Structure 1
Amino acid sequence: MIGLDTNILVRYLTRDNEQQWQQAATVIHQSQPCFVTNIVLCELVWVLRGANYSFRKDEIIGVLEGMLR
């Protein structure tokens, strides 16, 4: 099982760097299960709400709901 960190999730969700997005997508979509710690979820929300990305609250809720399915 692979633990995903905040950087992988941010690259995957924002697709702001195509090469890093491809690498993140490869890890996330592989057949091996992945896990995300509570602190990574907290940090992900903090980063996405920050000035660099400015995700809206409803967008972040959608991201989290999608990850928890």
Structure 2
Amino acid sequence: MIGLDTNVVVRHLVHDDPNQSKAATRAFAGLTPGEPGLLTTVVLIETYWVLTRGYKLAVADVVSALGALCGFG
């Protein structure tokens, strides 16, 4: 199991830094049923906070994106 931290999740969703975003997207692309990713509650809450407060993204968009990452969207 691969633990994904807030920075990786934010870079994967926002794509604001070409190199870091590419690396984050590769990390997500490498996840498989045999080698799944782990998004902890803390990471989800931190990501929500960073995206809504730091990046000023709409709450509905952030909830939708996080839901999709968790397999609910």
TM-score normalised by the chain length of structure 1: 0.91
Letter in 2 for 1:61: V
Alpha-carbon RMSD: 1.0
Aligned residue pairs: how many?
68
The alignment status of 1:22 with 2:22, answered yes or no, reads yes
TM-score normalised by the chain length of structure 2: 0.86
Structure 1 gaps of 5+ residues are none
Per-residue Cα deviation, 1:4-47 (whole angstroms, up to 9, x for no partner): 00000011100000110111011111033101100110100110
Structure 2 gaps of 5+ residues are none
Letter in 1 for 2:2: I
Q: CA shift at 1:65, angstroms?
A: 1.4
What is the percentage of aligned positions where both structures have the same residue? 34
